Structure 1
Amino acid sequence: MSRSSDRRRRPAYSRRPREFYWLWIAATATYGVGDVVSTIAFLEYVPTVDEANPVVAIALDAFGLGGLVALKIAVYLVMLWISVSGARDGDAFLYYFPPVLLTLVGASLTASNVRLLWLA
Structure 2
Amino acid sequence: MMATARPEWLHLDGSPFEEDSFRNVWLLALATYGVGDIVTTITIAYFSRIHVEANPIVNLSIDLFGGGGFLAMKLLVFYLCLGISIWAGRLEDDRLLFYGPPIFLALVGTVITGINLGLLFS
TM-score range, shorter chain: 0.7 to 0.9
CA distance in 2, matches of 1:47, 1:69: 21
Number of equivalenced pairs: 109
Instruction: Tell me the residue number matched to 1:110.
Output: 113
2:34 aligned partner, one-letter code? G
Question: What is the TM-score when the length of structure 1 is the normalising length?
Answer: 0.86
Where 1:64 maps in the other structure, the secondary structure is helix
Asked if structure 1 preserves the Cα contact closer than 8 Å seen for 2:25 and 2:103, the reply is: yes
Which residue of 30, 33, 38 corresponds with 1:31?
A: 33
1:5-34 Cα offsets, whole Å, 9 max, x none, are: xxxx7134xx51111000000000000000
Which structure 1 residue ranges, 5 or more long, are not aligned?
1-8
The CA RMSD over aligned residues, in Å, is 1.3
| Unpaired runs of at least 5, structure 2 | 1-12
Matched, 1:100 2:103: yes
- Aligned residues: percent identity? 39
Structure 1 segments of 4+ aligned residues over 6 angstroms from their partners: none
Greater share of residues in helix: 1
Deviation at 1:45, TM superposition (A): 2.5
User: One-letter code of the match for 2:114?
Assistant: A
TM-score (norm 2): 0.84
